[in-house]
């Protein structure tokens, strides 16, 4: 899938861009350097000194929240402006580093690799708010995925894979038998699956922390190009979860962003927010480890499939009933890519 430039992407966790730290990361084929400017806001510059093309990410973080190039000492602030050239007073016009719009929101650092004048922070998906919300506790991590970013949403939208990929944690034989409902518009795909009155999968049994059959929900929202949020959980069977009474159950939210590094590699930022067992000492660490395992399993499957796909470009596949959501999501991304290529205002801008 082609990379879409005019969109907000998760670029980093805030702690990766701590004060005095310099982060190098490539987003949408663009090498970027991230640091905090004088106001404590994250800044994203091209990772290239305009003098002799040294990566600025190898530079020296100065106390005034600028970066000094490690080669011949040119110094730049968070707006890309050169504030000092060793050995001369005159700052030539070319002594400037391109920047990318960059904001911190919902516990992520976001960057907009495309046309700067379209970078409205209001377009950042609000559904990510549960990553940094007083009523939720979140764990999360980053995976460097050797696959095109579109493979990640394929994985997340069709939860049939849980039975096979996550046997022993999230998976059990009750999932695939329950059909999905797919709805949406030109900006969203919603996939809903309910698994009623069954023995809970091991990880959910532990989350709920009580015996007895459960009702399990998987309410998925995909937004192009690369965000997938899963409202998931279990409640004791027949206690009204399907009608909306869920707060007595184990409520979770799995937030996923697949930021293209290149066409063939993806920075996968996952988090899992919860409203169960929030105050229990050590439980964050337990869940961090368990979900890191889960998403590593997904990554293995995605990379395996992608390696085959790359040697079979354009070769047809057989679609199954449970692919209805992923097919619809792919179409939205394709439409966005086509609109961007045609130079028309991409759909995401309509917000």
Which residues here bind its own copies, judged by CB under 8 A? 31, 47-48, 50-55, 58, 60, 68-73, 85-88, 92, 94-95, 154, 158, 160-161, 163-165, 176-177, 179, 300-301, 304-305, 307-309, 311-312, 315-322
Q: How far is the CB of 205 from its own copies (least distance, A)?
A: 22
Q: How far is the CB of 80 from its own copies (least distance, A)?
A: 13
Residue closer to its own copies by CB (options 308, 342) is 308
Q: How far is the CB of 161 from its own copies (least distance, A)?
A: 5
Q: How far is the CB of 47 from its own copies (least distance, A)?
A: 7
3-state secondary structure of 150: helix
Contacts of 233 (CB under 8 A, 6+ apart): 204, 207, 216, 217, 241, 246, 249, 250, 251, 252, 276
Residue closer to its own copies by CB (options 321, 350) is 321
Residue closer to its own copies by CB (options 131, 228) is 228
Q: Are 264 and 162 spatial neighbours (Cβ–Cβ below 8 Å)? A: no
CA angle 118, 122, 124 (to 5 degrees): 90
Q: How far is the CB of 86 from its own copies (least distance, A)?
A: 4
Residue closer to its own copies by CB (options 259, 297) is 297
C-alpha–C-alpha distance, residues 323 and 282, integer Å: 38
Nearest in space to 303 (alpha carbons), one of 157, 119, 165, 202: 165
Q: How far is the CB of 91 from its own copies (least distance, A)?
A: 10
3-state secondary structure of 200: coil
Angle at which helices 283-310 and 150-157 pack, to 10 degrees? 120
Residue closer to its own copies by CB (options 281, 313) is 313
Residue closer to its own copies by CB (options 92, 351) is 92
CB atoms within 10 A of CB 213: 13
| Element (DSSP H or E) covering residue 26 | strand 23-27
């Amino acid at each position: 899938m082609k990379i879409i430039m005019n969109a907000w992407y998760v670029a980093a966790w805030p702690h990766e861009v701590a004060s005095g730290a310099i982060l190098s990361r490539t987003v949408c084929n663009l090498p970027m350097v991230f640091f905090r400017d004088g106001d404590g806001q994250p800044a994203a510059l091209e990772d290239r000194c305009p003098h002799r093309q040294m990566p600025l990410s190898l530079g020296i973080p100065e106390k005034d929240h600028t970066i000094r190039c490690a080669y011949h000492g040119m110094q730049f602030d968070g707006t890309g402006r050169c504030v000092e050239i060793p050995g001369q007073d005159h700052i030539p016009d070319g002594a400037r580093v391109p920047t990318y719009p960059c904001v911190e929101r919902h516990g992520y650092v976001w960057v907009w690799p495309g046309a700067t004048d379209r970078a409205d922070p209001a377009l950042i998906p609000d559904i990510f708010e549960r990553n940094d919300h007083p009523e939720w506790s979140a764990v999360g991590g980053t995976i460097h995925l050797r696959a095109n970013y579109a493979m990640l949403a394929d994985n997340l939208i069709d939860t049939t894979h849980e039975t096979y990929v996550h046997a022993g944690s999230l998976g059990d034989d009750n999932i695939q038998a329950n059909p999905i409902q797919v709805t949406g518009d030109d900006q969203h795909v919603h996939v809903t699956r309910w698994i009623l009155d069954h023995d809970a999968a091991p990880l959910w049994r532990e989350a709920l922390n009580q015996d007895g059959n459960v009702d399990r929900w998987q309410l998925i929202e995909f937004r192009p190009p690369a965000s997938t949020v899963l409202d998931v959980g279990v409640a004791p069977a027949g206690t009204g979860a399907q009608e909306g009474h869920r707060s007595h159950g184990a409520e979770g939210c799995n937030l996923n962003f697949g930021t293209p590094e290149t066409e063939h590699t993806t920075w996968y930022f996952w988090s899992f927010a919860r409203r169960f067992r929030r105050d229990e000492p050590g439980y964050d660490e337990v869940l961090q480890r368990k979900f890191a395992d889960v998403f590593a399993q997904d990554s293995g499957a995605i990379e395996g499939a992608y390696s085959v796909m790359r040697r079979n470009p354009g070769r047809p596949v057989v679609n199954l009933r449970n692919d209805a959501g992923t097919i619809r999501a792919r179409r939205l991304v394709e439409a966005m890519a086509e609109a961007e290529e045609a130079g028309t205002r991409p759909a995401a801008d309509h917000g």
